[in-house]
Amino acid sequence: MFGIGISNFIAGQEWIFIIIIALVFIFGAKKIPELAKTFGKAKGEFEKGKIEGEKELKDFKDKESKSD
């Protein structure tokens, strides 16, 4: 009625707990560590790819500046 929703009463830290509880209900407590491990590996691979891409871009720029 006055534009007050449930999200106005829940702060940032409480959202984390709500999401964790929802994940436990959806996947089960035994599956959460496996999902976290998989997420960690994926994040590591993403970071490796990002670093490699930045290195290749730098090498390409260096090569272009030398040929000018």
pLDDT per residue as tens digits for the range 35-56: 889 999 999 999 999 999 999 9
User: Is the whole-model pTM more than 0.75?
Assistant: no
Residue 32 and residue 23 in contact, taking contact as beta carbons nearer than 8 Å: yes
pLDDT for the residue numbered 5: 58
Name 10's Cβ contacts closer than 8 Å, sequence gap at least 6: 18
